[in-house]
């Protein structure tokens, strides 16, 4: 029996059901194996009082400290995050919060390995705790945890040290692995671990009927992702004037909403841009199934789940050359990789819209990414880390 302690500050709760939904699914799949016993620690970062009691943070502060979440035993300890410090105090604060909790957990659950599912602050804290309890540690890199926290002056040294001292490392794409090596992490310890997609849920559907349900006539372009600068939704909005018949629907929420709304108005396309806000993950299949193309101009990615989910729905993607883009788009029927400019995105989307549509051929691009393969690879990796430690 492999006893796994999954540590992830990126994990859903009642106030954020879409937050870390892919970590949740991966964890559920691993926990379902008969040869695995698993517990989850999902730390919640909160600023000092009285800021933690404001409208923005109060619901998060009220999340239970322990609960059964979709059959998983989940603990949600709090740790202090100090605004304006660039994350430099996150790791010691998280380590202090976790040490007594894990000491308590270990009394009746002698975990064999700590599986940190996000590189910062989870990874450095996991390494410190692994040393304390004498157990091996694996850390997974997903995207911003390397591209942002691994390059920011206040935190990059901790990220690098964690990568150098962890017993095993996972990367969501080959490109992410290369980025980790470039930072100074040991290549021989990094395994590429692709995401999974629910191929039973994300399936092609009657595109015209799905559009009608959304009240859309003509070509539909969909984009998925938080409304943050890194996702570059502005590029796709700027491309829309060159696609006069197309509607753009963006699913996601974030601080860029006002700026994107203003941009759409300034470019004269406000009537053809819809910002849906946060959409439940289960509802995305209807949106992607209606789209003629999924477009995302991200500045950085690991391997975006949105790319794979779109392909599973038979919808080609138009994306910038970020992260594992070239590992996913290995056939022209899967879409286009273009430069991150409005004109190039307009040209790429137009080319996809003009091409004969074959949902079956497009869907093949997603069939490589299954949760069964993801789970088998994760189990083999964690078991190998434990075995190597002896």
Given this chain, do its domains 2-196+370-389 and 207-366 carry the same CATH topology? yes
How far is C-alpha 144 from the chain's CA centre? 9
pLDDT value of residue 158: 96
Where residue 79 falls among pLDDT bands split at 50, 70, 90? very high
pLDDT score, position 103: 97
Q: In sequence order, which ranges of the chain are alpha helices (DSSP H)? A: 21-31, 58-61, 90-106, 122-133, 144-147, 156-165, 174-183, 207-214, 233-239, 257-266, 284-290, 305-312, 325-328, 342-354, 359-363, 371-389
To the nearest 10°, report the CA torsion of 253, 254, 259, 265.
Answer: 0
- Mean pLDDT to the nearest integer, 294-323: 95
CA distances (Å), 219 to each of 247, 272, 287, 292, 309, in order? 6, 11, 13, 6, 19
pLDDT digits (tens, 9 = 90+) for 159-202: 999 999 999 999 999 999 999 999 999 999 999 999 999 999 99
Domain range annotation of the chain: 2-196+370-389, 207-366
Predicted local confidence at residue 357, as pLDDT: 85
Single pTM value for the model:
0.92
What pLDDT is stored for residue 390 in this prediction?
77
Q: Once rounded to an integer, what is the mean pLDDT over residues 71-100?
A: 94
| Average pLDDT estimate for 245-250 | 97
CATH architecture of residue range(s) 2-196+370-389: 3-Layer(aba) Sandwich (3.40)
Instruction: Round to whole Å and give the CA distance between 225 and 336.
Output: 18
> What's the pLDDT at 8?
97
- Can you give the pLDDT at residue 337? 97
Quote the Cα angle for 30-71-132, to 5°: 60
**Segment 4-50, tens digit of pLDDT:** 999 999 999 999 999 999 999 999 999 999 999 999 999 999 998 88
pLDDT digits (tens, 9 = 90+) for 114-126: 999 999 999 999 9
| 347/327 Cα distance (integer angstroms) | 22
Q: Give which of 208, 96, 186, 78 is closest to 139, Cα–Cα.
A: 186
* pLDDT-based confidence at residue 95 (cuts at 50, 70, 90): very high
What 3-state DSSP class applies to 41? strand
- Nearest alpha carbon to residue 281 among 12, 14, 17: 17
Using DSSP, state whether 42 is helix, strand or coil.
Answer: coil
Q: What is the DSSP string of 345-369?
A: HHHHHHHHHHSPP-HHHHHGGGTT-
pLDDT category at 325 given cuts 50, 70, 90 is: very high
pLDDT of residue 144: 85
Helix or strand (DSSP H, E) at 197 = none
Mean pLDDT of 280-309: 94
Residue 83 has pLDDT above 80, yes or no: yes
How confident is the model over 243-269, as a mean pLDDT? 96
Q: What pLDDT does 136 receive?
A: 98
* Average pLDDT along the chain: 95
CATH H-level superfamily of 207-366: Glycogen Phosphorylase B; (3.40.50.2000)
């Amino acid at each position: 029996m492999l006893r796994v302690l999954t540590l992830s500050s990126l994990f859903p709760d009642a106030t954020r059901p879409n937050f870390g939904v892919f970590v949740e699914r991966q964890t559920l799949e691993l926990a379902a194996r008969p040869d695995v016993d698993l517990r989850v620690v999902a730390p919640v970062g909160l600023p000092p009082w009285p800021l933690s009691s404001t409208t923005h943070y109060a619901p998060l502060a009220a999340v239970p400290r322990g609960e059964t979440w979709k059959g998983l035993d989940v603990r949600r300890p709090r740790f202090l995050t100090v605004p304006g410090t660039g994350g430099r105090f996150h790791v010691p604060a998280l380590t202090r919060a976790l040490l007594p909790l894990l000491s308590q957990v270990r009394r009746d659950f002698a975990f064999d390995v700590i599986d940190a599912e996000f590189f910062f602050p989870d990874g450095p804290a996991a390494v410190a705790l692994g040393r304390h309890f004498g157990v091996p540690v694996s850390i997974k890199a997903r995207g911003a945890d390397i591209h942002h926290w691994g390059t920011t002056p206040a935190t990059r040294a901790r990220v690098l040290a964690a990568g150098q001292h962890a017993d095993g490392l996972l990367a969501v794409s080959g490109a992410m692995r290369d980025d980790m090596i470039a930072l100074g992490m040991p290549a021989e310890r990094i395994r590429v671990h692709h995401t999974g997609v629910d191929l039973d849920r994300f399936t092609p559907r009657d595109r015209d009927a799905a559009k009608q349900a959304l009240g859309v006539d003509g070509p539909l372009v969909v984009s998925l992702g938080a409304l943050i600068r890194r996702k570059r939704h502005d590029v796709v909005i700027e491309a829309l004037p060159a696609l006069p018949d197309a509607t753009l629907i963006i699913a996601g929420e974030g601080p860029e909403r006002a700026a994107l709304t203003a941009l759409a108005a300034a470019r004269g396309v406000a009537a053809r841009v819809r910002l849906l806000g946060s959409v439940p993950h289960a509802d995305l299949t209807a949106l992607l199934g209606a789209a003629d193309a999924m477009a995302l101009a991200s500045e950085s990615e690991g391997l975006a789940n949105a790319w794979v989910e779109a392909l599973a729905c038979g919808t080609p993607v138009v994306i910038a050359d970020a992260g594992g883009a070239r590992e996913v788009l290995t056939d022209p029927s899967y879409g286009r990789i273009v430069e991150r400019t409005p004109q190039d995105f307009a040209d790429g989307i137009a080319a996809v819209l003009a091409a004969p549509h074959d949902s079956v051929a497009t869907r093949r691009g997603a069939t490589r990414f299954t949760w069964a393969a993801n789970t088998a690879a994760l189990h083999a990796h964690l078991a190998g880390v434990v075995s190597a430690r002896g």
